[in-house]
Structure 1
Amino acid sequence: MDASRGDTARREDRQACLRSARPNFLVLAPLCAGLAVLTARLEGAPLARVDTLLVLLAALLAHAAVNLLNEHHDFASGLDATTRRTPFSGGSGALPGRPAAAPLVWRAAVACLAGVVVIGSWFLWRSGPWLLPYGLLGLGLVVAYTGVLTHRPLLCLLAPGLGFGVLMVVGAHQALTGHPSSLAMTVSLVPTLLVSALLLLNQVPDIDADRRVGRRHLAILLGRRRAVRLAGMLVLAAFLVVPAGVAVGLLPAATWLTWLLAPAVAWLVRGLWRLNVADVAALVPWLGANVALQLGTLALLNLGLWLAG
């Protein structure tokens, strides 16, 4: 009987740990890292299958690590006890439901970070020391985001986009090719703007709870209405990257595929601008629409780069 209870407890701990990684949202990382693979391919780099898989795996592990650390920090700080959760904000709720899993979540975060370091070290050894700044800054963002950067409004806005955009796309491109690229840098601006908008918008329902635990991110500083409108403007700016990039010859014409979603962008931006921000329940469908739009945009950008190659 005791052994059976122990097996059940371990299984529940593992399930809570998996939920804390927020697997439903981890598709974002391979979509961003995939841009690096495709820009490297477009520039004629000979891509080994193992290298491609390692780049995608490192991105996935980094994303899982920041999610796990965020869940553990929010549980340990007491924030989870005061947060009103939505499907897109407020955390998974796994640890409040299973507090005993907290040490496992911490160990899983450390293991994910260790995996990123091992993969990064391999590429550093092979491609040269110019990759080191990407790796150090990326690790710093993962470790410091929840505990440090959420108290610094501008850095909190920029950090997610910088991590998933510039560092993940440009850094992975350089890991695969051995050199930086104006193509990769231009492409990276799309996830940079989109992911910063995503995190800013998802912070809006948590403003009151975050303020109570001493956070000071940009949504708190601006207030709900201005934060929501700024998120919409960032999404719009991300869509303008493609025509600007094509016009100056930095992006291939096939990347215009992202503009298949232009009507949805116009609808989203208009809706966010006119939204009654006092009603958190009314915001939730827009959070979902924003997530779907961003994933669709990145998928189409990947497709456009693939077709261009």
Structure 2
Amino acid sequence: MAFSRRGTDVRDDIGALASQVHPVFMLPPLAASAFGSILAGSIAPAPLALHALAAFFAVYTAHVKDGYVDFYLRDEDDDHPMTRSGCRLALAGATLGFAAATVAMGAVVGVGAALVTVPLWFLGFLHAPQFDTNPITTTLGYPLGIALCIVGGHFVQVGQLGVRPLGFAAVFLITLAGVKIIDDSKDYAYDRSIGKRTVAVVLGRDRARRLAYALVYAAGTVVVVFAVSGIFPPTASLAAVAFGVVVLLSTRAGAEVATMLLVRGTYVFLALLVVAVWYRPLAGLSLPDIGVLGPYTYLVTELVFGALALALLVRADALARAGLSVLVLYPLAYVWDWYTLEVGVFAIPLRTGVELFAIPIEEHLFMLVVPALVIGIHETVHGAIAAE
């Protein structure tokens, strides 16, 4: 039975089957599986190969089913390389391949490894037409698959779940959800015309884009917090900063270019995280000790952040408005600060010792710098949103 709609020889059938291997979507799950194994510290090749093979068949199932539904059932696509029966045979073959890899994994590693892997097939098979019409499932399907690949790749190495792989899985789930929202917004007009409820259709393109960048920003924040708390290696935060630069560049681009930048940025993000986990370049190094500035330590930090606040306010043309807000807030902040110092809530050892009106001079600056910085960030963010 022929697989190809364009010919009947073996080469045509092989070409039709190969057409459903889309590297841009296929490679990330395989890389995520390998990353999960890297998180284990040592890699056993057989479990990694079996898990990656199962992930391949799961994604292949999704591609074949999606093309079948879009062309033969929904009449959305203008063309498709595979026959109707060829799609069904390919689905059956991919399912058998997934089952074989999963059963072998259960035999080599344990039943738990198979149970962690099985959801990948359901995500692939139910992508269309069940999941891709709901704004939540159409957005989270692929990101959830990547997250499961990370968790599963780690599980098949060690036979148990771990906090670190779960943390990285959550980061990529949130990050890729944001990227998927922006990607879907490229087809806003078409999706709306056929009643496909993506996040962009439900919320509108502007609100969906803001939600997408909020998710990406939240994921970067999680990386930094986990790196500081010791869950992730310290250099993981540098990976988040590098990805953040790409995110900033994408904010000024349209949906198509932004998607291209974010997808490639995600590859860089993953590569830098692999370096952070595998090589641990900053392991053993202590944080820079700014305490060498002695009594001027607190004052210097305030000057640095004060300069940042000033730059943001000048850029947003909000210096006068911020100054008024800070002055109105100042009396309340002064009383609050004086009281907490008076009753011993906190102490400030690295300060000049100069006091003004019963509190350290540094605290007066703190009450100016912090609200100014908050207002500067607020005006910058909302000014950028208004300009979209």
Show the 5 A alignment for 1:196-215. 196-215=177-196
* Matching residue of 1:287: 259
Unaligned runs of 5+ in 1: 1-5, 82-95, 276-281
Report % sequence identity: 22
* Matching residue of 1:91: none
* Matching residue of 1:62: 58
CA contact (8 A) 1:31 1:302 kept: no
* Matching residue of 1:252: 233
Pairwise CA distance, 1:192: 1.1
Pairwise CA distance, 1:32: 1.1
Letter in 1 for 2:97: G
Show the 5 A alignment for 1:173-192. 173-192=154-173
CA contact (8 A) 2:172 2:219 kept: yes
**Which stretch shows the higher mean deviation, 57-66 or 31-40?**
57-66
Pairwise CA distance, 1:185: 0.5
CA distance in 2, matches of 1:51, 1:132: 11
Measured at CA, do residues 209 and 66 of structure 1 come closer, stay the same or move farther in structure 2, by a change above 3 Å? Answer: same
Measured at CA, do residues 236 and 30 of structure 1 come closer, stay the same or move farther in structure 2, by a change above 3 Å? Answer: same
Is 2:17 the partner of 1:17? yes
CA contact (8 A) 2:38 2:274 kept: yes
Is 2:95 the partner of 1:79? no
1:53 aligned to which of 9, 30, 49:
49
Letter in 2 for 1:33: S
CA contact (8 A) 1:39 1:305 kept: yes
Q: Deviations over 1:161-209 (max 9, x none)?
A: 21111x1111221122111100111111222123222322222222333
CA contact (8 A) 2:51 2:117 kept: no
Measured at CA, do residues 150 and 288 of structure 1 come closer, stay the same or move farther in structure 2, by a change above 3 Å? Answer: same
Q: Which has the larger radius of gyration?
A: 2
Q: Deviations over 1:106-125 (max 9, x none)?
A: 43343233222222222223
SS in 2 for 1:253: coil
CA distance in 2, matches of 1:160, 1:263: 24
Show the 5 A alignment for 1:78-117. 78-81=75-78, 96=79, 98=81, 100-117=82-99
Q: Which of the pair is proportionally richer in helix?
A: 1
Show the 5 A alignment for 1:153-192. 153-165=135-147, 167-192=148-173
CA contact (8 A) 1:242 1:251 kept: yes
CA distance in 2, matches of 1:295, 1:57: 20
| Number of matched pairs | 274
CA distance in 2, matches of 1:64, 1:180: 26
SS in 1 for 2:161: coil
Measured at CA, do residues 38 and 293 of structure 1 come closer, stay the same or move farther in structure 2, by a change above 3 Å? Answer: same
* Matching residue of 2:362: none
CA contact (8 A) 2:171 2:222 kept: yes
TM-score computed with the length of structure 1 as normaliser: 0.78
Unaligned runs of 5+ in 2: 1-5, 282-388
CA distance in 2, matches of 1:194, 1:106: 33
* Matching residue of 2:297: none
Taking CA–CA contacts closer than 8 Å with sequence separation of 6 or more, which of the two structures ends up with the larger relative contact order?
1
Letter in 2 for 1:145: H
